[in-house]
Each structure stands twice: as C-alpha cells, then as structure tokens.
Amino acid sequence: MMLSSSAFAQTGADSDIFYNARIVFSDQHTMHFQLALGAGQGASQGSCFIINGEEWLALTSLGSDQAGISHWAFPFQSELTIQPTEGGQLEGFFIKTETGERFPFFAESATVIECDAQMQHKRFPEGLFGQSTFDSPRHPLAERYDLRLRAGKENEVHAVGEFFTHPSGEIRGSILTQTGDYRYLAGNRYGNRIFLSTFDGVHCYTFTMALEADGSLSGTHFSGVSYREDFSGSPNPDARLDDPYAITTATEASLDLTLPEYASGAPVRILTGQGKVTLIQVMGSWCPNCLDESAFFKELAALDGLEVYALAFERSADREAAKPAIARVASYLDLPYPILFAGRAERGAVEKVLPIENFISYPTYLLYDRQGRLIEVHAGFSGPATSGWKAYSEQMYVTLDELLEGQP
C-alpha cells in the first residue's frame, strides 16, 4: 500500500520567496527557523509555510487587515502576523492565542541553493554564536546517540538522538523519547558546534550541541521563554527506547464506551466485537505528535472494515470551550473519522475513560480485532521525522491486513 511520508511535507513553488526568520522569546532564547511565502501573501490565494528541514508546515490564511498585516493560523492555538518592511524584510508577532502572549518576529531574504530538494542556506547565520572560537579539527557526528535529557538531575530522561548531514550541508534529524519524537530538527554545523531548531506553533525548540574528540556530545535545549535543560550523549548505533507495546496495558479485553461527539455533543457508542476492526486513538488538539499520528490514521481509515475513533483530551473540561481547538485540527487534516470529547487532559483522566493502566503519553492507541479482542496498545508516537517510521507504518498495514482478512 502507498504510504505518505508526512501530512506536511510539501514542495515549494518556483514563485515562493524564502526567508531566514527568528522569534525573540527572551534574552536567553531567540529561535531561528525558515519561512516560505507564495504569491499573494496575506490573501486567501497566497501561501505560508514553516520549513523544518524536509517538513513544510502549511499555515492557514486568516486574511489581511487595513494596515497590510497578514494573519496566519497554525493547526494549534497560535498565529503569526507578517508585515513587509521598506527594506524587503518582514516583521510581526508570534501569538499564543490561548494566553494572548506576543513575541517579536523578524525575517530576511534567504539564499537558496539547489540539492535534491530546495532549501535555504544557513538557518543559523554564520557568526551568530561566535563560531570563530570553535576548535578544529572537526570531530565526527554519529548517526545515533544514547542521550540523557536533564542530564544529572533526578528527573533525567533517556532519549535517542538521530542525526545526519543532508546533501546541502544542513544537519537534520530528530530526538526520540518514550512519549514521542521532537519532530523535524534542522540547522547548521560550525566547527564542532551544531545548532538545530524546530518550530510548529507548539514546539519552539532550539538545541545547541558541542561534539567532543571522544565521540560524545553535550548541549542545551531551549524552549519558549524560559525553559532550558542540559543534555549529554554518547554514540551508540544500537540505542533503543523501551518497547512501546509493553508499557501501557489494558485491564479489560473489550470496550463499551459512550462519549459525546466533539462538535454536536451527540452521544457516540464505541462497542467492540461487532464484526469491525476498531482503532481507538487517545489524542489532544494541542499535541503535535497527535497531529502526525492523525495524518497517518486518516490513511488507515480508508481501509474497508476498519473503524477509527479519536478520543480528544483537551485543555478545558468544557466541550464547548474545547470545540474550536479540536475543529481547527479536524479541518486542517480533513479527518474522516469521529472525534469524541473525552474531557480535560490531566493526570488520571485517560484511565477514568478507558480500561488501561500506566498511561504515559499522548498519543496512545488501542487496537481491537473483529471479535472485540484487544490486539495491542501502543504508547507514544515516533513519526515521519524518525528512522523507524517506515518500518512502523508498514508493519501497521501488515497487522491491519491480517485482522481484516476475510472481511465480508
């Protein structure tokens, strides 16, 4: 079966104008990313993409105001305002719509180089961090690392780092934790220092890393206004996380559940064992990894005999208050399967709705066969930005084909 690499991977048009952009969150964190604007920017026929390496995340136009400021919506609860300046640059604000926080945005035209896909040179401009002080010769960058996030702290987290050098010279990859991946990271290397970032309206991450002569690395992760954590790692081609199928377990083998449809409030009953294979997705409209999983589940929903349901756990316990955020995601992906409102995303909430134990991650899915028997529970989601994506997605199709075999 045909698999898409990402719901957001797109190709820039010849008329796109590329920019190196930055958002100033605080004195300690200015996040660098890249942007492409299509013809008619600010109008409904224009386009705006956030570029994270091979990911092109499309924003939705909200139109332009009388001052010529264009407004763009992320799939999540955030927006970007853009206004051209006389010098051909851009300025505006990144806005968190839930809190009303506004952070200055700036962008300058980027140099485009040709490789196997168009990209912009120097996401992190040369000299930005005093690269002239970096040591040489260059130490090797491994493809895979055992990482320790919040290194040395009581709440230290095991992670896996995957990195590679793109033909353009850009460093790309992702960081995987037990709950999910940090999506598409992209950036530049100067000497033995590497600078990576990703930006999707929720993740506002910058990673600075130093490579050591013994192969190890150390660095700092910045997020938003004030969050920072140190991390360290050592190269390990066999670095792995715990088995995601063996973490969250079910306390009952079947499911009989009624929840309101998120938009109408109409009760929807999920009853397994009615001759259909049933896939239950635990998600939230605020969760980027859930968005990636939803894009994949949209493909799966086209299989005859498969029923897919999303259970949305939101920032608010009130369905009406949560409705706009869920609707934004459902509309962005044009999801064909029901989304049910399951309550507020808080500790213990999922276990109150579903018969499971040790819930650790949004997203998580439960898969039931046609007889209503639980086949598997999968915690977390490592998506298209990770090396294991192809094997995982292909195996999912194999599993579903086996469960659907002989479907009348």
Domain count, the chain: 3
Give 98's DSSP letter.
Answer: T
pLDDT at 113 over 70: no
| Residue 203 within a domain | yes
Q: Which two tokens stand for residue 347?
A: 């500790």
Q: Of 235, 260, 293, which residue sits at a domain end?
A: 235
Q: What is the pLDDT of residues 46-97, one digit of tens each?
A: 899 999 998 999 999 999 888 889 999 999 889 999 999 988 899 999 999 9
Whole-number pLDDT of residue 118: 46
Please, which residues have CB within 8 angstroms of residue 31's CB and are 6 or more apart in sequence?
22, 23, 25, 197, 199, 204, 205, 206, 222
Q: Is 377 found in the same domain as 275?
A: yes
Q: How far apart are CA 264 and CA 243, in angstroms?
A: 38
Alpha carbons 176 and 240: distance in angstroms, whole number:
9
pLDDT mean across residues, the chain: 89
**Cα three-residue angle 41-43-45, rounded to 5 degrees:** 90
Domain at 193, CATH number? 2.40.128.120
Q: What would the mean pLDDT of 206-227 be, rounded to a whole number?
A: 94
| Residue 276 within a domain | yes
Do 216 and 331 lie in a common domain?
no
Rounded mean pLDDT, 265-286:
96
Which residues have C-beta within 8 Å of that of residue 246, sequence separation ≥ 6?
A: none
Asked if 59 and 50 count as a contact pair (C-beta separation under 8 A), the reply is yes
Residues 6+ apart with CB under 8 A from 21: 32, 33, 34, 35, 90, 105, 106, 107
Average pLDDT over residues 267-284: 96
Residues 208, 260, single domain; the answer is: no
CA angle 346, 207, 198 (to 5 degrees): 65
Provide the 3-class DSSP secondary structure of residue 369.
coil
Domain boundary among 120, 152, 184: 120
Would residue 10 count as lying in a domain? no
For residue 321, being part of any structural domain is answered with: yes
Same domain, 43 and 92: yes
**Which whole number is the average pLDDT over 105-121?**
66
The length of the chain in residues reads 408
pLDDT at 115 over 90: no
What tokens appear for 81 in the block?
Answer: 């305002």
In this predicted structure, the answer to whether residue 392 has a pLDDT above a threshold of 60 is yes
Q: Across the strands, what pairs with 228?
A: 222
Shared domain for 270 and 386, answered yes or no, is yes
Range of the domain at 327: 249-404
**Residue 57 resides in a domain:** yes
- DSSP strand pairing (17-24 vs 30-37): antiparallel
Encode pLDDT of 139-182 as tens digits: 999 999 999 998 778 888 999 999 999 888 899 999 999 999 99
The closest alpha carbon to 302, from 263, 335, 262, 340, belongs to 335
pLDDT at 348: 95
279 has a pLDDT exceeding 50: yes
**Which residues lie closer than 8 Å to 129 by C-beta, 6 or more apart?**
190, 193, 195, 208
- The strand pairing partners of 314, in sequence order, are 344
Measured CA distances, 312 to 261, 359, 360, 391, 403 (Å): 10, 15, 15, 27, 26
pLDDT in tens, 312-367: 999 999 999 999 999 999 999 999 999 999 999 999 999 999 999 999 999 999 99
Q: Where are the beta strands (DSSP E) in 255-355?
A: 256-260, 267-271, 277-283, 306-314, 339-344
What pTM does this model have? 0.88
Q: Is residue 216 part of a domain?
A: yes
Distinct helix (H) and strand (E) counts, the chain: 4, 29
Q: Do 218 and 232 contact (CB within 8 A), yes or no?
A: yes
Residue 3 clears pLDDT 50, i.e. is over it: no
Query: Which is more confidently placed, 5 or 276?
Result: 276
Q: Tell me what pLDDT residue 116 has.
A: 46
**Is there a domain that residue 280 lies in?**
yes
Rounded to an integer, what distance in angstroms lies between the CA atom of residue 362 and that of residue 262?
18
Residues 107 and 153 in one domain: no
8 in any annotated domain: no
